Amino acid sequence: MGEILETLREALQQAKSVAVLTGAGISAESGIPTFRGPGGLWRNYSPQELATPEAFARDPRLVWEWYDWRRGLIAKAQANAGHLALAGLERQIAQVGGRFTLVTQNVDGLHDRAGSRNIRKLHGDIWLLRCVGCGREERNEQVPLTALPPRCTCGGLLRPGVVWFGEPLPLEEWGRAVQASRNAEIFLAIGTSAVVYPAAGLMEVAKEAGARLAVVNAEPTPFDADADWILTGRAGEILPRLL
């Protein structure tokens, strides 16, 4: 690993444009369970069953119990060394006039707490609530939520401000993520199983545009075959050594 880490570190020091995609794995060491790893997210439900508009329409209270539980976990969590290393990389690249974009599939807000600035949140933000009636959006960090499911002043149901399966990604965030992937000299994929689309497609966009790809993950991913560097292990341990 030392040799691979060394050549990636040097490449990052020369790079003028870097894009990063993170997934649930970067928050695992903060105590937030991942979607597909061991200790799966919740009782015997799979995210695909709960993170959908259909599940919410059928049983808003059950879906909110899941999100309220996750909000409680996240409220107690700290950004870990992996989040902090990425915030440091962004500052280092800004100092040499380079471009850095952090694209995340995570909704936990830990990259914000770690000090990252240019963050594209493809799947929304667990601390945002959106009214299914009037569309009003509000930031709410109350844990636990008093009434489940929460209601808007208009009487409509409030839902988590996240992107569920079958829902489109926010256009602006997606567009900026694609552009950053196209311009990247180096694309880092960190802590993602790379099975959820269109987010996982950013690796293809970057490679097709000529980027070199580095994968930092605890287990193999479908993009390892395209990767120029593969660092297997915990992001909280690898990233501080890398950056």
Residues in contact with Zn ion by CB under 5 A are 131, 133-134, 136, 152, 154, 156
Q: How far is the CB of 95 from ligand BV8 (least distance, A)?
A: 27
**For ligand BV8, the closer CB: 16 or 241:** 241
165: closest CA among 89, 29, 51, 81?
A: 51
List of residues 6+ apart from 219 with CB closer than 8 A: 193, 232
| Residue 133, contacted partner among ligand BV8, Zn ion, none, CB below 5-8 A by kind | Zn ion
Q: Which span sits near ligand BV8 by CB under 6 A: 18-26, 92-100, 109-117, 128-136?
A: 18-26
**For ligand BV8, the closer CB: 166 or 175:** 166
How big is the CA angle at 203 (ends 198 and 207), to the nearest 5 degrees?
Answer: 135
Q: How far is the CB of 132 from Zn ion (least distance, A)?
A: 8
**For Zn ion, the closer CB: 57 or 134:** 134
Q: Rule CB under 6 A: is residue 192 a binding residue for ligand BV8?
A: yes
Q: Rule CB under 6 A: is residue 195 a binding residue for ligand BV8?
A: yes
Give the span between the Cα atoms of 199 and 162, in whole angstroms: 14
102: closest CA among 36, 29, 184?
A: 184
| Residue 131, contacted partner among Zn ion, ligand BV8, none, CB below 5-8 A by kind | Zn ion
52: closest CA among 159, 166, 157, 170?
A: 166
Q: How far is the CB of 71 from ligand BV8 (least distance, A)?
A: 11
Measure the N-to-C terminal CA separation of the chain; round to a whole number of Å: 15
Tokens 């390892």 belong to residue: 224
**For Zn ion, the closer CB: 4 or 148:** 148
Q: Is 172 exposed, middle or buried (0-12, 13-18, 19+ CB in 10 A)?
A: exposed
Kindly name the residue from 120, 123, 207, 212 that is annotated as catalytic. Answer: 123
Give phi and psi for 208, each to the nearest 5. Answer: -65, -30
Q: How far is the CB of 146 from ligand BV8 (least distance, A)?
A: 21
Give the span between the Cα atoms of 192 and 36, in whole angstroms: 10
**For ligand BV8, the closer CB: 88 or 98:** 88
Tokens 């900026």 belong to residue: 176
Q: How many residues bind ligand BV8 (CB under 6 A)?
A: 34
Q: How far is the CB of 200 from ligand BV8 (least distance, A)?
A: 7
20 — alpha (psi -120 to 50), left (phi > 0) or beta? beta
Q: Rule CB under 6 A: is residue 241 a binding residue for ligand BV8?
A: no
Active site residue 111: no
Q: Rule CB under 6 A: is residue 30 a binding residue for ligand BV8?
A: no
Q: Which span sits near ligand BV8 by CB under 6 A: 5-13, 86-94, 136-144, 165-173?
A: 165-173
- Give the residue numbers marked as catalytic: 123
